[in-house]
Amino acid sequence: MKIIEKHLHLNVPNVPDGALFLDIETTGLKAETTHMYLFGCISREPEGTWLFKQWFLDGPLEERAALNDICNYITNFKILIHYNGDRFDLPYLDYHTKERGIDSPFLTMPSLDIYRHVRPLKKLFHMEAAHQKNFERLIGNYREDKYGGGELIEVYHSYQINNSEKLLHFLLLHNEEDVIGMTGLMQLLDYDVFFDKNSSLITSAPTVKDRSDAELLLSFPLQNTYKYGAIHFLDDIYLSLRDDRLNLKLPVFTGEMKYFYPHARDYYYLPAEDRAIHKSLASYVDPAFRQKATAANCYVKKNGSFIPLLSAGSVPVFKKEYGKDAFAMIDDDILSDTAFWNEYVHYLFQKIKKG
């Protein structure tokens, strides 16, 4: 067994106290029939530098001693950080540790899976897959390592035969870049706010950058600055994120819309005026000129400019016809309604997440 240590200087945001980043390399995905051959981790030292450490196994017989050493080591930390480790690394380590009669901390310690946080960004940044390397390329981290974990299984078997230092370098490098690459991805956790429906993403009224009978361009200030900008189209809605601004370009319908009253049984429809009125007023109308309202004709007409309404909220809902798409009327009240826009923007991000 080889134990490698090195001290590094890194600038890593959003790191909890007592955090240990970890990644493992194994001879396969099935814990019952394979073994771990490499465990890599990195943690911040008290003086601000980072300690990177690896346990490299020359064969499966060394796994018990390595896991015993690793378990003792990680008890010095408060939280484990990994990439998709909830699905693979931690259950794998837990199984192998318990199989060798060692108390396993891997599923009982607090942990943070970076994958779960950055996965929603796949659609936002138009990525083909949510692999760690994809997100590293987004933040400008390009690796020396050219292999994938699956490809390195054969490299490891070849190393066991000839003990080539070149092959060992490739094996160690892949794991090292996986572990150090995770630290860079922590900055993407700032984007969690866009996909958290309970967050106050929009806290002030937008600036109207442009307004016409066909389009409305709004710019919203954000509480933080986001280094990695994004552009997205959702049907006819354009969204862009850059620095500390979120911009929306919305299609506008200018003309006549209908507001449908709820509880049609409480209304009468006046065919001559093509509108509905409440029963309390209909008593003053000749019965020959009124009829009981239905859901489809229980409305009043309104002229103005309207934008698509994505979800039910506290604003009045207008439609071209009953059962059709919903709209909100553009006026000073709605433009200054931060709660409305916070819900509106979060709904857009939920649609982006779902793809």
Domain coordinates of the chain in residue numbers?
2-192, 198-261+298-355
Does residue 196 surpass a pLDDT of 80?
yes
pLDDT value, residue 118: 97
pLDDT value, residue 312: 65
pLDDT value, residue 321: 94
Burial class of residue 338 in the structure, from the number of CB atoms within 10 Å of its CB (0-12 exposed, 13-18 middle, 19+ buried): middle
The CA–CA distances, whole Å, from 46 to 8, 40, 72, 156, 193 equal 13, 20, 19, 35, 30
* Mean pLDDT score, 297-304: 97
**CA gyration radius for the chain?**
29
- Our measurement of the distance from residue 149's CA atom to the centroid of its chain's CA atoms, rounded to an integer in Å, reads 25
69, two tokens: 């050493």
* Mean pLDDT score, 72-77: 96
* Mean pLDDT score, 65-94: 98
Selected residue with higher pLDDT from 241 and 235? 241
pLDDT value, residue 92: 98
Q: What letter represents residue 270's amino acid? A: L
Q: Which residues contact 109 (CB under 8 A, 6 or more apart)?
A: 74, 77, 78, 79, 80
Does residue 204 surpass a pLDDT of 90?
yes
Cα gap 208→249, rounded to integer Å: 10
pLDDT digits (tens, 9 = 90+) for 246-258: 999 999 999 999 9
Question: Which top CATH class is 2-192?
Answer: alpha beta
Cα gap 90→111, rounded to integer Å: 9
Whether residue 35 contacts residue 26, with contact meaning beta carbons closer than 8 Å, is answered with yes
Cα gap 273→77, rounded to integer Å: 74
pLDDT digits (tens, 9 = 90+) for 139-162: 999 888 877 888 899 999 999 999
For the chain, give the number of residues: 355
pLDDT value, residue 145: 80
